[in-house]
Amino acid sequence: ELIRGAHDAWSGWLCVLVVGLCAGMMAGVIDIGATWLTDLKFGLCPSAFYLNKEQCCWSSNETVIDISGNCSLWLTWAEVMGFSKHESGAPAYMGLYFFYTLWALLFATLSASLVRMFAPYACGSGIPEIKTILSGFIIRGYLGKWTLLIKSVSIMLAVAAGLSLGKEGPMVHMACCTGNILAYLFPKYGKNEAKKREILSAASAAGVSVAFGAPIGGVLFSLEEVSYYFPLKTLWRSFFCALIAAFVLQSINPFGNEHSVLFYVEYNNPWLFFELVPFLILGIIGGLLGALFIRCNIYWCRFRKSSRLGQYPVTEVILVTLMTSLLAYPNKYTRMNTSELIYLLFSQCGVTNQEEICDYTNRNFTNVNQAVNIAEAGPGVYAAMWELGLALVFKMIITIFTFGMKIPAGLFIPSLAMGAIVGRMVGIGMEQIVYSYHGESLPWFFRGECAQEESCITPGLYAMVGAAAVLGGVTRMTVSLVVIMFELTGGVRYIVPLMAAAMASKWVGDALGRMGIYDAHISLNGYPFLDIKDEFSHTTLAADVMQPQSNEPLSVFTQGSMTLGEVEEILNSTDHNGFPIIISTESQYLVGFVLRRDLVLAIKALRNRMEDVSPDALVLFTTSPSTDSHLLGHNSLGEGGSNPVCPLQFSKIVDLSPVTIADKTPMETVVDMFRKLGLRQTLVTHNGRLLGIITKKDVLRHIKRMDNEDPESILFN
């Protein structure tokens, strides 16, 4: 008894604890699985096939690992086929190319087939749908165990296939599935949709938290982007959940990374005030790229929906994978794992980083603590610039076609990669400008800070800012974006640049297209989502929106003068989800509201109990003897008698406190009430008389009509 009481009080915390633990473990498994599969495209660890490249090389105890990270125990497919280790001719290259493409096609086909056969809901990032679910709409099975299982497996395969997608968005969806499944273990949450949404909010925070190792960013993302209602006590629980998940993932340590952040960066130099100008320019570019991406992607998704292409999802995936792997392999920057690319672009040149993009003339590193001096770009940098430019174009185009296919696909990583490429290129440009003015002829705003030989421009920082800008342009996130970026990189000092770029990107993006990618996909799919951020600024009244408009009759029940036959006829001839109850057809004064579901169940239960229920029996929706029921005078009002004219007592299923509004209420207020109170319908009255009803669908249609969009595009269950 005591245990049950404590269990009830603590079940919320226990539930988010379990959700956090499971989300962390799930993320760990997926990270490990995806890495192993990705490495399988390049080679194999013959001594222990279940190890990935890094683990395989660890197990070999070799101290010298060559620059590409290969070791003797790890065999590339070229070596497996019998080519020697250092052979680099066309046959070896072609062999690797062939295996790379073959594995990619295999993974992608498997992934798409799994989704198509077992869990169609597992496709996409899932964030638009979760937003819709949290706003009160129910999609059965969307957060079920099959979706979770299939999505986990197929996201690993999709990532390993080298498609231009990330596993971060799907991780939010999978965390929400975990939350939904585990909520059923706790009766307080499993049985109450509103309470369950609190768990889902916490789970989505945990999802972002494990995806990026950013617990605070996760909570803010859940608050800003995903959740609809966010009671403050949920904030604390979500934070707890996100932190537990991040902690578990960190303990599993799938990346073998000492730092708890994904792309840990540390720059020697602070940013300079005049650098705000290029940062703002990056923000503008990010906003432009984001808006362009959204427009093209929505155009393509609409085409897919309307054409015959939509009928061949697996074929589409195979074709896109083929294009991706054929085009990606030749370019070093697209061949590598996208996370590695981002990390490379974020990092600053130094002793530990001898990549092509760090090939400067007159710069030799001998000591870790040595200051980086300003230098002219060498041929490696110029080559890298070309390759990066091509990579950007390729990523942009292929991601437009990838996002929206019937496989699990997130957008964070591709957006970050595009942004990082743009940023790094701008950063190198800035650096070379400063280098060319270097010395005496430096303009006034550089002087002082850049006068010394030390480099004052860090291209890696530009990559970071650019990544934030493009991600902001695509998703239109704001605070959560800045916090995620800063948790992702550990760059506490760079909040101001990140903020400047995110702001510029958001403004430019909003000017070119109101909706972020998630809202655009919600709108594309016609989900009934009442955006909490849009302001309703029209001056229409409730009377203009309510159903029925003029002349048409409203389907209502009277409280005590209708027979079962009449009630059933109304039930059969309409498809409304509920019906208002009025005193009488003459007076129209409102009594209450009854849901179709409850009424159908009550009638069915009645028929089960009593064999012969006369359709002429009077249906009572009230307990108080009204004028109408006086007609029946001597009949008892209770149910259960076998007298066929005995009235049927249905008052228990009537909601006696429906939300009502006056007909003169401005729609602005009505929309506000729908959002804040989470209403599904409200009754419109004038001086106490029922005039009509406004449902959520009516509100959504009205908003669409006011915005000159097609009001019929909204789906309802």
Q: Does 511 bind its own copies (CB under 8 A)?
A: no
Q: Does 503 bind its own copies (CB under 8 A)?
A: yes
Least separation, in Å, of the C-beta of 168 and its own copies?
20
Q: Give the closest residue to 422 by CA, choosing from 380, 465, 455.
A: 465
- Tokens at 389, concatenated: 């430019």
Quick check: 402 and 164 in contact, CB under 8 A? Answer: yes
**In the set 277, 496, 511, 645, which binds its own copies (CB under 8 A)?**
496
Report the residue number, 165 or 216, with the smaller CB distance to its own copies: 216
Q: Does 680 bind its own copies (CB under 8 A)?
A: no
CB of 669 vs its own copies, minimal distance in Å? 7
* Residues 659-678, interacting with its own copies (CB under 8 A): 659-666, 669, 672-673, 676-677
Near its own copies in 440-479, by CB under 8 A: 478-479
Question: Among 158, 176, 219, 619, which residue sits at the site for its own copies (rule: CB under 8 A)?
Answer: 219
Q: Torsions phi, psi of 264, nearest 5?
A: -65, 125
CA dihedral 60→62→64→70, nearest 10 degrees, is: -10
Per rule CB under 8 A, count of chain residues that contact its own copies:
56
> Whole-number minimum distance, CB 666 to its own copies, in Å?
7
Q: Candidates 148-156, 239-247, 395-403, 451-459 — which segment interacts with its own copies by CB under 8 A?
A: 239-247
* One residue of 120, 190, 350, 490 binding its own copies per CB under 8 A: 490
Question: Which CB sits closer to its own copies, 380 or 490?
Answer: 490
Which residue, 376 or 510, has its beta carbon nearer to its own copies? Answer: 510
β-bridge mates for residue 541, sequence order: 666
Q: How far apart are CA 140 and CA 149, in angstroms?
A: 16
Residue 499 sits in the site that holds its own copies (CB under 8 A): yes
Q: Which CB atom, from 596 or from 686, has the smaller least distance to its own copies?
A: 686
What letter does residue 122 receive in the DSSP assignment? G
Residue 91, preceding peptide bond in cis (omega within 30° of 0)? no
From 58-66, 97-105, 237-245, 350-358, give the range in contact with its own copies by CB under 8 A: 237-245
- The answer to whether 291 and 507 are in contact (CB under 8 A) is no
Which residue stretch of 25-33, 360-368, 601-609, 654-662 sits at the interface with its own copies (rule: CB under 8 A)? 654-662
Kindly indicate which of the ranges 75-83, 240-248, 299-307, 308-316 contains the residues binding its own copies, using the contact rule CB under 8 A: 240-248
What one-letter code names the amino acid at 302? R
**Residue 354 half-sphere exposure, CB side, CA atoms within 13 Å?**
9
Using CB under 8 A, pick the residue from 85, 145, 191, 493 that binds its own copies.
493
Token couple for 291: 């808006």
HSE of 549, CA atoms in CB hemisphere, 13 A = 5
CB 314 within 8 A of CB 107: no
User: What are the DSSP E strand ranges found in 27-93?
Assistant: 43-44, 75-76
Nearer to its own copies, 641 or 688 (CB): 688
Among 362, 364, 537, 687, binds its own copies (CB under 8 A): 687
Q: What string of DSSP letters covers 245-282?
A: HHHHHHHH-TT--SSSSTT----SS---GGGHHHHHHH
Q: Which of 232, 539, 553, 586 binds its own copies (CB under 8 A)?
A: 232
Q: Which helix (H) or strand (E) holds 158?
A: helix 145-160
User: Which stretches within 377-494 are classed as H helix?
Assistant: 379-402, 412-437, 459-475, 479-489
> Is residue 145 at the binding interface for its own copies, with CB under 8 A as the rule?
no
Residue 243 touches its own copies, criterion: CB under 8 A: yes
Angle at 339 between CA 336 and CA 289, to 5 degrees: 100
d(CA 242, CA 230): 15
The pattern of x and - marking residues 541 through 580 that bind its own copies according to CB under 8 A reads: -x--------------------------------------
Smaller CB separation from its own copies, 200 or 500? 500
Closest separation between CB of residue 533 and its own copies, Å?
5
Question: Which residue has tokens 């706790």?
Answer: 186
Single out the segment in contact with its own copies by CB under 8 A; choices: 52-60, 175-183, 230-238, 384-392. 230-238
Q: How far apart are CA 132 and CA 531, in angstroms?
A: 9
CA dihedral (192, 194, 200, 201) positive or negative: negative
Distance CA 172, CA 143 (A): 11
Report the C-alpha gap between 559 and 483 in whole angstroms: 56
Across the beta sheet with 562-563, the strand order is 562-563, 618-620, 648-649
With a CB cutoff of 8 Å and minimum separation 6, the contacts of 123 are 115, 405, 406, 407, 408, 409
- Smallest distance, Å, CB 531 to its own copies? 10
User: How far is 672 from 682, CA to CA, in rounded Å?
Assistant: 12
- Is the CB of 548 or the CB of 688 nearer to its own copies? 688
With respect to its own copies, which residue has the nearer C-beta, 2 or 232? 232
Nearest to 419, CA basis, from 403, 396, 397, 400? 396
Residue closer to its own copies, measured from CB, 318 or 659: 659
Identity of the residue, 101 or 626, whose beta carbon is nearer to its own copies in the bound complex: 626
Q: Shortest gap between Cβ of 364 and its own copies (angstroms)?
A: 25
7 counts as binding its own copies under rule CB under 8 A: no
Q: Does 247 bind its own copies (CB under 8 A)?
A: yes
Instruction: Tell me which amino acid residue 615 is.
Output: P
d(CA 219, CA 243): 10
Contact 482, 300 (CB under 8 A): no
CB of residue 332 to its own copies, shortest distance in Å: 33
Q: Where in 582-621 is the site for its own copies (CB under 8 A)?
A: 583, 589-592
Letters for 258-277 (x = contact with its own copies by CB under 8 A, - = none) are --xx----------------
Closest to its own copies by CB, 457 vs 502, is 502
Q: Is 512 in the site for its own copies (CB under 8 A)?
A: no
Closest separation in Å from C-beta 662 to its own copies: 4
Residues that bind its own copies (CB under 8 A): 215-216, 219, 223-224, 231-233, 235-236, 239-240, 243, 247, 260-261, 478-479, 482-483, 490, 492-493, 495-496, 499, 503, 506, 532-533, 542, 583, 589-592, 656-666, 669, 672-673, 676-677, 685, 687-689
